[in-house]
Structure 1
Amino acid sequence: MRRKKKILIIMHSMHIGGAERALLGMLSAFDFERYQVDLFLSEHNGELMKYIPREIHLLPEIPRYSYFTKPFSLTVRKREFKMAYVKLRTRLACKAYTKKSNGAVADATIYAQRFALPYLPPINPNVEYDLAISYRTPHYLAIEKVRAKKTLAWIHTDYTKVTIDIATEHYMWSKFDYIASISDECSKGFLSVFPELKEKLVLFEHVIQPSIICDMADEFVPNEIDQNSDVITICSIGRFVPAKNFTSIPKICRVLLESGLKVKWYLIGFGEEESEIIRQIETLRMEKNIIILGKKENPYPYIKACDIYAQPSLYEGRSVAVIEAQILKKPVVISNYPTATSQLRNGINGLILPLDTEQFANKLVKVICDQDTLRQLSQNADCDITTEFDQMRVFDRLIEGDFYDH
């Protein structure tokens, strides 16, 4: 009998987010006759924990790993002095980087994980894995705290749009056997910063399972969504962070209303910019037209209930929410962020609108008024969706070690 290949996947937690939903898709798509899949989470926390497939072996939480996200005061109170030291050292490293880089803000997590390595116990040390996968940056744990024959790390963002400590990240990335990119445009962005790592790069798009999404979309009909036929309903999903650009939505919505359209725009998500979004809504008197729904474990009934899905981001890796909206046959409009052309085919299965807020709004008015275009976008929405089987075949080859064989 053929031995099952042992795979370990490392992730921070299972809070609501695009990467987390994409991970669930991949976990569900494994052939468990061939693979034994272990999952290590730094924290057993998050709304999506309950969706982890039962075939996945969830490793026990190691308490010290959970302190990456805990406040300094709590860390000291719990007498985790080594992790408190890591937090202080991280703070100093970030300040030094900002000073050296003319005000650029460093990613604290990459310093924190690197500085913590001497104080962290190994992960499941009695097992040697055929492949260890680090699903979200920073990626030090997979290369320093796991026994594995091969290692793989994931890129989820556009490296032309993020501030990084290049030397620190290069050291981290260069340790991996493979680096998985979620789109061609993400690959280009990454290679513009790290061209010497080209041979490690493999294209591996998000594993999305259309049947699961469609089933979950039918679980209930959300009563929050206005069902009046003369009201255009728009949905946007994402963390309330600068990259998603949700602070522009009140201004866009005002242009739609001033053009004579009846609109309600629903925002699903949470994050640091929520208070600013609310302030913009109140300033522009959009309270009746923009509704913040907050976190939703199952966002699909809301996407299904709305007329249009919109993503006005400043940058993306490859938006999981956009793919999910396409699966649900929604007309999708996105902003012209650098990786937009790898997200959809403009005019075929979605529309790419200008990054500029006013231009985005004016174009969106025309789209909403063009029923033929909306109908066509809906019909073609899922025409380029890659099945989970296609993606897992790529993964099979990678695990078996013949990815680069011709």
Structure 2
Amino acid sequence: MKNIMIATFDMEVGGVERSLISMLENFDYKNYAVDLMLYSHQGDFLKLISDKVNLLGEIPQYTTFRKSIKEILKDKKYSLGLSRILSKIIADILGQIKKVEEPGYYQMQLMWKYALPFLPEVSKQYDVAISYLWPHYFVAEKINAKKKIAWIHTDFSTVETDIKMDLKMWKKFDYIVAVSEACKTAFLEKYTELENKVVVIENITSPDFIREMAKEKVENSMLKDNRFKIVTVARLSHAKGIDNAVRALKILKEKGYQNIAWYVVGYGGDESLIKDLIKESKLMDSFILLGKKTNPYPYMKEADLYVQPSRYEGKAVTVGEAQILSKPVMITNYATAHSQVKDGLNGCITELSVEGIATGIERLYKDSEKRNILINNCNNTNFSNSNELEKLYQIVN
């Protein structure tokens, strides 16, 4: 039996975490013993971890990655606190010099680089160590394993990273797993010399589990809302484009479409910015933030249209889940969009802009026949793909 360790940040509600839960649900525990290392034991998905997985105890130094600088200093972890302050200052300066829209990726790289000397190693020897979420410095530097695998869930052509720093880290891995072909292509445009390491393994989806979860009874005024309901499940962050969604709904209201309500399930750093934008756009009764939900599926099930207004994605887990629930889906034309949706068949792809989102919704709102075609095509598709795990077992062995 092979010993595998999988490492990630925590089990907060998110697409990456949901895909990990599905993978662990479908894993072959007859042949593999799986240890799960969470830097922090927090998040509503903790209770969904398969009982066949051995959840390792927290290591105090690693819990700091989800804490504020103030909390770290309060915990007397001064070296880690100072490394965080330094990474923030340098990332902000680099961001201004290079005019980077989102210097957070630089900051995360630097945060790990400066923190590494103060982080303990894990003593157990593993056959395989899997780092499930970038940045992968923990598995690269602090785990003793015969084989190392790193997962990529994002479109790397859209994020600003220090390529030289990342390359040193990537080279410590035997394999890099991309969640879609488009994700792999975008990654290799940036890191061409890693071509022989990259394989594609799609996020594991579990249609029976999703359909079962969608039956859960929830109390919400959304269920009594008779308007045309758009639903989005996403982090409230720049990447997910929820600000563009608010602006698009404003355009539709100004055009006279008063019968549309947009519900967003999720939470994140941009919440206050988005709330201000909703207020400013006078959309308080029609653009509704439902907040964090461990089970988003009953809300998805209520959608007349599922919309993903993202600026970039690797492969949006939620889009696949909406398709499993036979919802008409519309996504923006981010770089990896065509690897997720066959335009006009199992969803629609619209221009990545505020006007593009508004136009795409208007078309589908007016064309119930088109929506029915999308619904029927999703109904007739088998979205189960647990066989993707065979690809993982092949590289593990």
TM range (shorter): over 0.9
1:142 match: secondary structure: helix
Alignment correspondent of 2:98: 101
How far did residue 285 of structure 1 move? 1.6
Unaligned runs of 5+ in 1: 401-406
Q: How many residues align?
A: 394
Counterpart in the other structure of 1:130: 127
Q: 1:95 to 1:223 in 2, by over 3 A?
A: closer
Residues 251-262 of structure 1 mapped to structure 2, 5 A cutoff: 251-257=247-253, 258-260=255-257, 262=259
The CA distance in 1 between the partners of 2:70 and 2:229, in whole Å, is 44
Amino acid at match of 1:19: V
Moved more, 389-398 or 290-299: 389-398
Question: Is the Cα–Cα contact under 8 Å of residues 100 and 160 in structure 2 kept in the other structure?
Answer: no
Query: Residue 151 of structure 1 corresponds to which residue in structure 2?
Result: 148
Indicate how the Cα distance of structure 1 residues 228 and 243 shifts in structure 2: closer, same or farther if over 3 A, else same.
closer
Match of 1:209 among 199, 206, 214: 206
Q: Does 1:16 align with 2:17?
A: no
The one-letter code of the counterpart of 2:77 is: E
The 3-state SS of whatever aligns with 2:293 is coil
Question: Which residue matches 2:176?
Answer: 179
Match of 1:287?
Answer: 284
For residues 247 and 95 of structure 1, the distance between their equivalents in structure 2, rounded to whole angstroms, comes to: 23
Deviation for aligned residue 1:224: 2.5
Alignment of 1:236 onto 2:232: yes
Evaluate the alpha carbon distance shift between residue 333 and residue 102 of structure 1 in structure 2; reply closer, same or farther with a 3 A threshold. Answer: closer
1:302 to 290, 299, 315: 299
C-alpha displacement at 1:261, in angstroms? 5.0
**Aligned residue number for residue 118 of structure 1:** 117
Q: 1:310–1:332: 8 Å Cα contact kept in structure 2?
A: yes
Pair 1:386–1:226, CA change in 2 (3 A): closer
Separation (CA, whole Å) in 2 of partners of 1:226 and 1:263: 14
Deviations 1:40-87 (A, max 9, x none): 011001111111111100000001111122222332222212212322
Counterpart of 1:366 in structure 2 is: 363
Q: Separation in 2 of the partners of 1:185 and 1:384?
A: 21
Alignment of structure 1 residues 70-85 onto 2, 5 Å: 70-85=67-82
C-alpha separation between the residues in 1 aligned to 2:212 and 2:312?
30
Instruction: State the Cα distance separating 1:184 from its structure 2 match.
Output: 0.9
Whether 1:47 and 2:37 are equivalent positions in the alignment is: no
Retained in 1: the 8 A contact 2:72–2:80? yes
Which residue of 245, 249, 253 corresponds with 2:245? 249
Per-residue deviation, 1:254: 2.9
Distance 1:292 1:88 in 2: 32
Local SS of the residue matching 1:154: strand
Aligned-CA RMSD value: 1.7
Q: Distance in 1 between matches of 2:307 and 2:57?
A: 39
Asked if residue 164 in structure 1 is aligned to residue 161 in structure 2, the reply is yes
Shift of 1:221: 4.3
In structure 1, what is the equivalent of residue 195 of structure 2?
A: 198
Letter in 2 for 1:110: Q
When normalised by structure 2's length, the TM-score is 0.95
Pair 1:393–1:371, CA change in 2 (3 A) = same
**Pick aligned residue for 2:322 from 320, 325, 337:** 325
| TM-score normalised according to structure 1 size | 0.93
> Which stretches in structure 2 are left out of the alignment for 5+ residues?
none
Q: Does 1:264 find its partner at 2:261?
A: yes
Report % sequence identity.
Answer: 36
Pairing partner for 1:389 from 378, 381, 386: 386
Letter of the structure 2 residue corresponding to residue 118 of structure 1: P
1:152 Cα shift? 0.4
Cα distance in 2, alignment partners of residues 10 and 393 from structure 1: 20
**Aligned counterparts of 1:43 and 1:228: Cα–Cα separation in 2:** 38
For 1:389 and 1:273, how far apart are their aligned partners in 2?
Answer: 34
CA distance in structure 1 between the aligned counterparts of 2:341 and 2:121, rounded to whole angstroms: 41
- Aligned-pair distance for 1:95? 4.2
Per-residue CA deviations over 1:211-254 (Å, capped at 9, x if unaligned) read: 1111111111443324455x211100111111111112222223
